[in-house]
Structure 1
Amino acid sequence: MKILLPPFSIIIFIHILSISTTTSKSLTLPKFQAIFIFGDSTVDTGNNNYIHTVLKANHAPYGKDSQVPTGRFSNGKLIPDLVASLLGIKDNVPPFLDPNITNDELRTGVCFASAGSGYDNWTVDISKVIPVMKQIDYFKNYMERLKGFVGNDEAMKIINGSLVLISAGTNDFILNFYDIPSRRLEFTIDEYQDFLLEGMKNFVEELYNLGLRTMIIAGLPPIGCLPIQMTSRFKLLPNDRRCLESENLHSRTYNQKLVKLLPKLQESLPGTLFAYADVYEPLNDMINNPQKYGFVQTNRGCCGTGFVETGPLCNEYSELCANASQYLFWDCIHPSQAGYQYLSNDLVKKILLHLVDLETVLQATVFVNDEDGQVRAAHKILGYDPIQKSFANPKHVINANNPRLPKITVVEHEFLISEGSLVPKDIPLAGSSSSHQAAQDEGDLGLSEEGFGVFDQADPSKDPPSDLGLVRSGIVVSGNILSSRDRSKEKAPN
């Protein structure tokens, strides 16, 4: 690795990892103290087993490929289990309401989600499950239990260093706007989207106040492609079971609003790191290109007819498909374990590889502007769609965990730096900004290595000089920035 110090900015080219996209075993992933899950049935690992509701999955044939029904709405594992396993935290994320849960399980994280829940309280009035905001009360109970056996300081260290997954919203639309249109009497679709996003915002702010910092918030799936929604429009014939495009459009517009909201929310909550989980496009691709994933059926579930069976209607008397791994959906709403596995791999590949600061940035170029000390980064990671696609304002950024690197801006399609910054022609870039392109076109701006101080990476086994910066995972990152004119006074590290 080389570090070049131009007159107006420091450029650090980092190649941290060599990634194979075909196997998760080759990925170097961030480390988290624990994992916490909030939301609905897509992530509920069994909390509904312990409350009075008909929305349960603690009976056959649920859990068919796990040997025993666990309360998960699928034939096997869910995304929380699969992601926790990939991260090396645990193989299964237990429900918090399990009365037999151990302290060891509590220490590494639990699930608070409840099948049938949503951001809208009217949703749970119908399903009689745990509201999203009530899940926060259970998290508070969890914190007290955790502090009881690890102490306050260690408990907060676990909570601050944890990963949070949030998945909710689908039930709100299905139960309040589409199939039971009670909210349509009060809201337009645009207003209802905003209403739910305000609920999500309040929920995240509550989690932040309790010490949670790194959160992945899932968008909506293509709701119009869920088998139950096709059935609700009397699409029963095989050739007639097509996705409801109006509902899919609503999902897309909601997701677009969520993507715009997250950086603003992150800016208002110092020290947070938020990521948007796109489940729409991966599911949409599985539906439109099933052969890529080994699916033979994507418009009905494996359980029963696959048109209406879920919860109590998917039971031991239901006829099952021969091979659940060839079905995208297990019942008329929820994906099979095979579907969840693809979604989990996509989440790891596109988000978790760089969810913490510079330690997980791949093939990135980091700019530190001498005038404002602002760290800026731009990269494209395996098709990841970042929260922000243009550098409009330095405060619209992703916050790094390291206090000496407070802000990082991530850009995908264009490589943007502050106007006037000079970039050597031979530095690998992810794209071109207007200023960089203009500099190339001029050809006479001195963009060569002449005039740049060049030095090797500092030895990560030694404490780096305070004026150079600090070493994280063997990567030199900037602390107090020296321009090239100051650099001449210092000796380059070996």
Structure 2
Amino acid sequence: MTCNPEAKPSSIQMAPSINTLFFFFFHLLLCLTPSLAVAAGRVPALIVFGDSTADPGNNNNIPTLFKSNFPPYGRDFPGGRPTGRFSNGRLASDFISEGLGLPLTVPAYLDPGYGIEDFAKGVSFASAGTGLDKITSDLSHVIPLWKEVEFFKEYQEKLRSYAGEAMAAHIVGEAVYIVSIGTNDFLVNYFSYVTGRAVEFTVDEFAGFLVSIAGDFLTEIYRLGARKITFFGLVPIGCLPLERTVNVIGGGGCNEKLNEAARSFNAKLQALIGQLNASLPRLKLSYTPVDGHVLDILNNPSAYGIENVEEGCCGTGKMELGYLCNPWSPFTCEDADKYAFWDAFHPTEKMYRLVAEATLRTLAEFI
């Protein structure tokens, strides 16, 4: 059936029946929502790599301080459960999974409560605090990106044992892949001035260094069977509440030096994506302009029903992050939907939902 808004079923008469009206409105619904109509049943799984923006709880199971498996994190998650997600509820990847007709949440690969029967429909290897540069993950004692790739290989072995060679190959080849990483490389690594990267590279050179690592990573997961991949651009990292707080000289406004670093990375990433699409057969690699989506929300919050974009909901919203965001943090807001950020570093569930909706529109172009 073609999606023609003017098309009418052949059975339509002057007095259409209830069945005819149902057919017409169902057909209209398909025309208005092609992304979900096409994606439902077509995408067998959502596979996720990255950092805290995509970690649903892998860090719960490793020895690191980068954890969020305690209240008030997860306050608005189904059941009010702190899962290890750095937010008050679900992440963008969870909403994207739901939008693709898959489960409502993407499980963490290291969560012992899930098995390969769950991971066959979606899995996240992401680790809060990690980055493209191995030094970044070493600083935080978290899972490096190369280890996430090793987990992906291990996952495929389990998938073949569970579903058989043919079905496993189908899942891996037809799955949608999300990559969300890079913020920590700048904020925890380069601009912390404790690693020497700021001496070794200019900001622009470091962005190029990171993108070259991203290229190696993308080529590797392509070699392992990934074909439909979207890479999230960096948000305006200088506008995170924590960066506003420490930007005393700038009067608590956005740190444009950091934002420029993010723009440099995003520009180089988009160039890389074009190169890889041209050189790797059947690869469908896209750039998700999270930077543009988030910037629009920060500049026009009232259009999205948001009242505060400068502070996090947790505590004072200026410094709280990780263990500083806890049940005893005073001043934590009652309604996180009025905030763009949950803690001083991470978005609220509402912000993630808005990003996911925009991402699904991007994904519709190649799934």
Pair 29,352 (structure 1): closer, same or farther in 2 beyond 3 Å: farther
Shift of 1:129: 0.3
What's the counterpart of residue 295 of structure 1?
Answer: 306
- 1:184 alignment partner in structure 2: 198
Match of 2:335 among 293, 303, 323: 323
User: Are the aligned partners of 1:34 and 1:109 in contact in 2 as well (CA < 8 Å)?
Assistant: yes
Instruction: Indicate the SS of the match to 1:215.
Output: strand
How far apart are the structure 1 equivalents of 2:187 and 2:31?
39
Distance 1:171 1:26, change over 3 A: closer
Relative to structure 1, is the Cα distance of residues 146 and 229 closer, same or farther in structure 2, using a 3 angstrom cutoff? same
Report the equivalent of 1:104: 117
1:245 to 256, 262, 286: 256
User: How far did 1:268 drift?
Assistant: 1.9
Q: 2:229 is matched with which residue: 203, 215, 227?
A: 215
Counterpart position of 1:196: 210
Q: Does 1:28 align with 2:40?
A: no
2:95 is paired with a residue whose SS is helix
The letter of the residue matching 2:186 is: F
Structure 1 or 2, whichever has the larger Rg, is: 1
Instruction: From the superposition, tell whether residues 26 and 355 of structure 1 become closer, same or farther in structure 2 (CA, over 3 Å).
Output: closer
Q: Does 1:53 align with 2:64?
A: yes
Once the two structures are TM-superposed, the CA of residue 104 in structure 1 deviates from its matched residue by: 2.2
Take 1:266 and 1:337, find their aligned partners in 2: how far apart are those partners?
Answer: 32
Larger relative strand fraction: 1
CA–CA separation in structure 1 for the residues paired with 2:81 and 2:29? 39
Q: C-alpha distance in 1, partners of 2:35/2:364?
A: 11
Q: What's 2:164 paired with?
A: 151
1:346 correspondence with 2:355: no
Q: Which residue of 2 aligns with 1:230?
A: 244
2-structure distance, mates of 1:100, 1:28: 31
Partner of 1:72: 85
- Matching residue's letter, 2:260: L
Three-state SS of the structure 1 residue aligned to 2:364 is helix
Give the whole-Å Cα distance in 2 for the aligned partners of 1:276 and 1:162: 17
Q: Measure the CA separation in 1 of the matches of 2:130 and 2:115.
A: 26
Give how far 1:109 is off: 1.9
SS in structure 2 opposite 1:304?
Answer: coil
Alignment partner, residue 175 of structure 2: 162
Aligned mate of 2:289, from 271, 278, 283:
278
**Are the counterparts in 1 of residues 175 and 228 from structure 2 also a CA contact under 8 Å?**
yes
Runs of 4+ in 1 over 4 A off after TM superposition: 16-20, 24-27
User: Which residue identity is paired with 1:326?
Assistant: K
Distance 1:134 1:122 in 2: 13
1:223 alignment partner AA: I
Task: Determine if contact 2:246/2:252 at 8 Å carries over to the other structure.
Answer: no
* CA-CA distance at 1:341 after TM superposition: 0.7
In 2, Cα distance between equivalents of 1:254 and 1:98: 32
Of 115, 126, 138, the residue aligned with 2:139 is: 126
Task: Give 1:235 shift.
Answer: 6.7
Counterpart for residue 337 of structure 1 = 349
Asked if 2 retains the 8 angstrom alpha-carbon contact of 1:19 and 1:26, the reply is: no
Count of residues in correspondence between the two structures:
335
**CA deviation after TM superposition for structure 1 residue 171, in Å:** 0.3
Deviation at 1:17, TM superposition (A): 8.9
State the superposition RMSD in angstroms.
1.8
Q: Which has a greater percent of helix? A: 2
